Structure 1
Amino acid sequence: MKTKALLIAICLLTLSLHSPVRAQFPTMGGSAQPKALPGTAGDQSPKGTAKITGSVLDSTQSNANPAKAVEFASIALYNTATGKAIDGTVADEKGKFTLTKLVAGNYRILVSFVGFRNKTIDNLTLANGQSLDLGTIKLASSIKTLEEVTVVGQAAMIEEKVDRLVYNAEKDITAKGGDATDILRKVPLLTVDLDGNVSLRGSSNIRVLINNKPSTIVASSVADALKQIPADQIKTVEVITSPSAKYDAEGSGGIINIITKKNSLQGLNLNVDSGVGNRGSLLSLNGNYRKGKAGFTVGGFGRAMYNTITKTNLDQTSQVNGITTLTRQAGDGHSSGLFGQYNLGFDYDLAKNQSLTAGVRYGVRNMLSQQDLVTQLFTNGTPGLTAYRNVDAKNLSGTVDANIDYLHTFKPQQEWSISTLYSRNDLTNNFDADLLNGANELTGRQRNLNKNVNQEFTLQTDYQTPIKKNQLLEFGAKGIIRQVNSNYQYQLAGPSGAFTTEANGTLGELLYHQNIAAGYSSYTYTTKNRYTFKGGLRYEHTFIDASTREGGTLGIGDYGVLVPSVNASKTVKGTTFKLGFNRRIQRPGLQQLNPNFNAANPQNITVGNPTLRPELTNNFELGLSKTIKKTFINATFFGRVTNNAITQISQPSDTLPGAIVTIYQNIGRQHTYGTNIFANVAATSKISIGLFLNTFYTTLTGQAIGTDGVSATLTNSGINLSGGTFASAQFRNGWGAQAFGFMQGSSVQLQGRQGGFGFYTVGVKKEFANKKASLGLAAENFLSNRYHIHTVLNSAQFSQVNDAYLYNRGVRLTFTVKIGKMTMDAPRKKAKSVNNDDVKSDGNGQTQSGGTPAGGGTPR
């Protein structure tokens, strides 16, 4: 009944938005516009028999390249005598426009569009029945604003917008042959460890979108999802630190939106990217075809990882029932993986103001790892037997995302959209372990089988309309139907014979239904003094029905949350100030919920908690940015207060001597305060250098079991530091070079500190045949053979010291070739895509600036 009610509510709102009231004429490019369109309520303009026609073209085209139409250019008609606007229209996809039913009189016309200079045509006289053809109206490109905010001669690597920071990854020449993890390491505000776990300002509670779309693969593991995205297919990475009410309320740390390379070209195009290195290889094919109103895209890539070696040393002490157990463990292992992603897309212009987009994407990940463990236990100082354990683990997934989206543009900035998405992820996380004695004889076997299926269907509708020339109203609704199913078995066997779960094993299942209904409204207002205010309110209600095979219904209640957001900005003498506040919700993700008892290493066990509740975070942000000659500086001060924070808690096992069990819990409260500083220097038109520093102070408070077996309060606090630098240079004859370095200090945990790490890379590239082909060479962490991560955790009942050694010295050679001839087409506004960014990851895993309201952004 909850699901049916949810769908009925969304459909009713969709129908109500299908016939929107035509609002006042929108602002384009900041110029004056007419007050109202004819035909709207209150319009008393007389009707005549005259008409005006014409076409709007881009004046920047050369004789060799004929001028292109300016689609959706705004045409406003003013009465010369009164100075009032009496009519208006929008050009079609060919730049043509017509104003009809005009009365005789004297007029002037204002033509405008974003990115072009306004043009006024004066002294127009119309007689009854006259048809006036204005012919071709050419608009000049507005380039001065761009020159003020970009590096001379090349696009800036880092750009700052009102609510986000944008990293232009397509300029990264060291990206060839890597994946999205390699790109995100270089984005200011982000931290990516050597396993691919991502955090924003010290918080791993973030949402990762791909082309403004969610995916169930991200819900299971962000780190694994990033490995499926080839780095050289990423155009930009957007770090949204202060999301508006239009975005899903999830992501207490913020939102990361990865935009892959797209175009609006006419013709046929095929790109071939390949790379080979000592630790990984890549082959990618991406093609697109567009003719007239229809466009098709097809793509596929495969990536192999190999020669990934790890070494670990673990010392941990636990105290249970007066017995002290010391565990000493050494592990040697390696891993390999095959990743692939294949996509097919289609878009079609139903009319000049309507478009339809559809797509399907399949992603596959096969990650295999092997580890040999040697473990010795000491009980009250007395050494016990030494155990040998060889473990083979499989982490496999197959993901399907399918979407159909529709967009209807009534006037510029006045539009209605409806979006749908079906997403499914089949995830397998198994291991097999052989138990051996000191003579290398097999004494027993263990197996863990864990099959997970995550499915969700989403329906979303959004509407936006301008109010006067300096205000924008947005509202919409969204429904998500989500189902998670996890089956798990823990099996035992002797040196030979079949496995069994009956005597000493476990058999379990988690069924988790989560339906979400959401609605939002957002309002933007810009004053004459260039103050911009944007406020919004979003409400989300979550319906949960969860059960396990062993425990039956879990009794998790439904809950609702009201999410306000406020953003303001002002530019004073070249310095831009931004102030923001928002509240976010963080729902537990699949790995936090999964009750599977993962004992691949029986001395260090992890298990999920299906009874987790969501966490709530209040975020505060104050930022300022300024360009001083050739240097761009950005500094942001932030605060974050989280209640019901989801984190990992470790404690000794009651049944396995010396073992530490880690489980996810709502620990209580977390406070974080800090600053991010970034500077970019354009040394010359071809050379740029960047520096960034992140520092914040964290306090965590939670509950853990004390020495007397009673729950006790834990508190830990400390400073977290990270920073890095990058440099890029362009030379003659198609040569380029780039370098990057990053250091992450140790980070505060509730029960200790996790070790820090470093990463650096350099690369060179040579382009050939008018940029139709390129050859590149990149090397990373080449000065040392391995990197050491030292982590210390402790509580009243245990202490743990973990040393991990990662061998990630790498070099790769890349080659790219572009086939086909394309011609640039005028940009089309495509249907928006739905976004689900409401689920917490396990940690492993456009608003305009310049004072005008943002329109046409992708709904969330």
Structure 2
Amino acid sequence: QNFEGDISGKVLDEQSKKPMPYANISVFRMKDSTLAGGGITDEKGFFKIDKLKPGFYKIKIDFIGYDRYITTAKVNPQTPSVNIGAILLKPAVTQLGEVEVKSDKPMVEFKLDKKVINVDKNIVTSGGNATDILRNTPSVQVDMDGNVSLRGSTNVNILVDGKPSTLSAGDKAAILEQIPASTIERIEIITNPSAKYDPEGMAGILNIVTKQEKRQGINGLVTLNYGTMKKFGGTLSINRRVNKTNLFFSYDYRNDDRNGYRNHDRYFYFNDTLLSHTIITSTRTNQNYSHNIKGGFDYNFNPLNSLNFTATYRIGERNGNDYSINKVLSSANTTAQYYERDEKSTNPSNNIDLSLGYKKKFEEPMREFTSDLYFSRGIFNNNENYSQYNFIPIYTSPAQKSTSDNTFTNLTFQSDYVHPISEKTRLDAGIKAMMRTSDENYFFYKFDTLATDFKKDTNLSNHFIYSDYVYAAYTTLSQEWKKFSIQIGLRAEETVQDGNQKTTGYTFKRDYFSLFPSTHISYSLPHDNKLQISYSRRINRPDPHSINPFIDKSDPLTWHMGNPDLKPEYINSYEFGHIKDWKKLSLTSQIFYKTTDNVVSRFRKTDTTGIVTVYPINM
């Protein structure tokens, strides 16, 4: 009953016959496919898997860039030590004379819980930015201001390399324009994320995965590009990988000018009676530039333990001019008001992202532990000057200007563990703590003709500080069969929110606990057809602007304010999809359905003078 045997062997390259160190060895029981043991080869290519009970075993040998090798062995008291001899691994490359044929990644890959768009060979990557890549990504839309939406909803969570950054709170459009397209390897579209991911974002998650240089030695790349509308830039990247250490550095510059226009009609009704009709026509010019610097290192202590550090610094500016013609018609369709408004803006920004990660692999294949610490800080300033020229009726509007000093910080700790129960069964678990702070200080000035200088308008200026702390734990269980696979998960989160409207002295605090289950099911049909069904529960927490109780009266016709009593929205998301693959073509179709609790809606209240006050409420 205490018998223990072992299986040993040696792994060699089929062509050079040289030993292959660090190849992965997996040993599975034949009767139930459970993982019995595993390990890696030593410097001379030898391996030995011990503490095996009597029985039949399947041995899998894997190495990156080589075809998998599978064999079987029997361990019993008569042959307790089984040597399967020299194993020759074949490179995953076929050579025909002088031609080397490799399998390229497909443009689109379908996983159980996400869709992967490989953009490495997209022509846009030669000179664009992340916004340009997203414009060419299926299911993703980007408007003229750079606002990103997924399936028609702007409530999407954007990650970089699976990590939070200033994209989670700052000016997303400005930051995306500062990420060079040439550094992006793929876009992961996760419309119904599992419990492993943060549940924020009603529409789902867009994960921007950047490239990692894996070649040995020193590698570099220099690119220059020029396009229409004064769109130009350049990239310099250097990578040095020697033995256990990899050092990398990159610099990117972008300049992009954009022009546009918009037309807007607004009707005011009171008790179903039309009071006025406002017609707004505007033209806009924008000049954007950015510098992007990234550096860091990867260090492998040994084949099972590694450390990585990355620092990214971005600085940029968006300058714009918006000229609008405003015409207000009365209920009798006569011109009651006519004025032109000129708005000039300067929006400098700088942000930094720091990431420190540790990865621990085990001798058992697919088993690993990771621990990561992220810090991001973004400073976004907005300086605007307003001039209004009134023609009907004729009067003088004082010149106006505003300044916004906004700082966002995010500190996140995350730890994840993956445990393969068997060849087809896997357990994931993890914890996460995220601390975010938003400090928004807004100043509004009006020109005083008597003092011949701008004076601060205390009725419009305000300072709001908001923090939220999210503590989470999750677990998922995945099981695969021949044609059927399933993943179930559960995530628990405790959220604490603090708000301080320093101008008015109003403070509030709120905390709540939430559960987020998820289920993903996939079934393979004949003739390369596949069905997918999924469910997840998500949350849409109010942003700082939505809960700031201060009334913004900068627009004379429309006032805006937040609602500190606003509750988060909870979304139940259901999806059903079909995938049909051909040799060079794939067709996907999806039906999705969402139900939302505590729906947030913009409530508009009009007074007798026609001024509209807009604020959010839960329906």
TM-score clears 0.5: yes
Distance 1:132 1:384, change over 3 A: closer
Secondary structure of the residue aligned to 2:132 is: helix
**1:99 is matched with which residue?**
48
**1:520 is matched with which residue?**
474
Asked whether 1:580 is paired with 2:523, we answer no
Asked whether 1:499 is paired with 2:454, we answer yes
CA positional deviation for 1:566: 0.7
Asked whether 1:557 is paired with 2:506, we answer no
- Cα deviation digits, residues 815-851 of structure 1 (max 9, x gap): xxxxxxxxxxxxxxxxxxxxxxxxxxxxxxxxxxxxx
- Among candidates 124, 144, 157, match of residue 194 of structure 1: 144
- Cα deviation digits, residues 278-309 of structure 1 (max 9, x gap): 22112111221100111011112111112x22
CA positional deviation for 1:110: 2.6
CA positional deviation for 1:644: 2.1
Asked whether 1:229 is paired with 2:179, we answer yes
- Among candidates 132, 136, 140, match of residue 182 of structure 1: 132
Aligned ranges for residues 279-294 of structure 1 at < 5 Å?
279=229, 280-294=231-245
Query: 1:530 corresponds to which letter in structure 2?
Result: K
- Cα deviation digits, residues 31-81 of structure 1 (max 9, x gap): xxxxxxxxxxxx94458xx99563x3454xx66xx97847441154999xx
**2:193 is matched with which residue?**
243
Distance 1:68 1:579, change over 3 A: farther
CA positional deviation for 1:519: 0.7
Q: Tell me if the contact between 1:219 and 1:590 (Cα under 8 Å) persists in the aligned partners.
A: no
- The structure, 1 or 2, with the larger RCO (C-alpha pairs under 8 Å, 6+ apart) is 1
Rounded Cα–Cα distance in structure 2 between residues aligned with 1:192 and 1:369: 19
Q: Tell me if the contact between 2:496 and 2:509 (Cα under 8 Å) persists in the aligned partners.
A: no
Distance 1:67 1:578, change over 3 A: farther
Rounded Cα–Cα distance in structure 2 between residues aligned with 1:159 and 1:327: 48
Asked whether 1:481 is paired with 2:435, we answer yes
Rounded Cα–Cα distance in structure 2 between residues aligned with 1:163 and 1:51: 37
- Cα deviation digits, residues 111-166 of structure 1 (max 9, x gap): 422773323376999999999794x532235799xxxxxx9975422221221111
Query: 2:407 corresponds to which letter in structure 1?
Result: V
Distance 1:99 1:628, change over 3 A: closer
Asked whether 1:339 is paired with 2:339, we answer no
Secondary structure of the residue aligned to 1:371 is: strand
Rounded Cα–Cα distance in structure 2 between residues aligned with 1:186 and 1:371: 27
Query: 1:263 corresponds to which letter in structure 2?
Result: E
- Among candidates 446, 449, 457, match of residue 411 of structure 2: 457
Secondary structure of the residue aligned to 1:229 is: coil
Q: Tell me if the contact between 1:88 and 1:99 (Cα under 8 Å) persists in the aligned partners.
A: no
Query: 1:546 corresponds to which letter in structure 2?
Result: G
**2:247 is matched with which residue?**
296
Rounded Cα–Cα distance in structure 2 between residues aligned with 1:395 and 1:83: 62
CA positional deviation for 1:448: 1.6
Rounded Cα–Cα distance in structure 2 between residues aligned with 1:347 and 1:320: 65
Q: Which moved more, 1:609-618 or 1:558-567?
A: 609-618
**2:462 is matched with which residue?**
508
CA positional deviation for 1:107: 10
**Structure 2 stretches of 5 or more lacking a match?**
95-100
**2:398 is matched with which residue?**
444
Query: 1:493 corresponds to which letter in structure 2?
Result: F
- Cα deviation digits, residues 542-590 of structure 1 (max 9, x gap): 0112121244344342111110001111112132111111111111234
Rounded Cα–Cα distance in structure 1 between residues aligned with 2:408 and 2:140: 27
Query: 1:419 corresponds to which letter in structure 2?
Result: D
Q: Tell me if the contact between 1:339 and 1:366 (Cα under 8 Å) persists in the aligned partners.
A: yes
CA positional deviation for 1:90: 1.5
**1:685 is matched with which residue?**
none
- Among candidates 375, 383, 387, match of residue 430 of structure 1: 383
Query: 2:244 corresponds to which letter in structure 1?
Result: K
Q: Which moved more, 1:121-130 or 1:477-486?
A: 121-130
CA positional deviation for 1:441: 11
Aligned ranges for residues 553-632 of structure 1 at < 5 Å?
553-573=506-526, 574-593=528-547, 602-603=556-557, 606-628=560-582, 630-632=584-586
Q: CA RMSD in A?
A: 3.9
- Cα deviation digits, residues 371-404 of structure 1 (max 9, x gap): 2334344556564564343221122321111111
Q: Percent identity?
A: 26
Secondary structure of the residue aligned to 2:173 is: helix
CA positional deviation for 1:511: 1.6
**2:98 is matched with which residue?**
none
Aligned ranges for residues 532-551 of structure 1 at < 5 Å?
532-551=485-504
CA positional deviation for 1:96: 3.2
Aligned ranges for residues 668-707 of structure 1 at < 5 Å?
668=619
**1:391 is matched with which residue?**
343
Rounded Cα–Cα distance in structure 2 between residues aligned with 1:326 and 1:122: 83
Asked whether 1:357 is paired with 2:357, we answer no
Distance 1:406 1:428, change over 3 A: same
Q: Tell me if the contact between 2:280 and 2:325 (Cα under 8 Å) persists in the aligned partners.
A: yes
Q: Tell me if the contact between 1:579 and 1:622 (Cα under 8 Å) persists in the aligned partners.
A: yes
Q: Tell me if the contact between 1:270 and 1:285 (Cα under 8 Å) persists in the aligned partners.
A: yes
Q: Tell me if the contact between 2:460 and 2:554 (Cα under 8 Å) persists in the aligned partners.
A: no
Secondary structure of the residue aligned to 1:225 is: helix
Asked whether 1:117 is paired with 2:68, we answer yes
Asked whether 1:414 is paired with 2:370, we answer no
Distance 1:351 1:333, change over 3 A: same
**1:270 is matched with which residue?**
220
- Cα deviation digits, residues 500-525 of structure 1 (max 9, x gap): 225x6433211212111111111112
CA positional deviation for 1:311: 3.0
**Structure 1 stretches of 5 or more lacking a match?**
1-42, 145-150, 669-860
Distance 1:240 1:454, change over 3 A: same
Query: 2:473 corresponds to which letter in structure 1?
Result: G
**1:708 is matched with which residue?**
none
- Cα deviation digits, residues 589-609 of structure 1 (max 9, x gap): 344445676666544555554
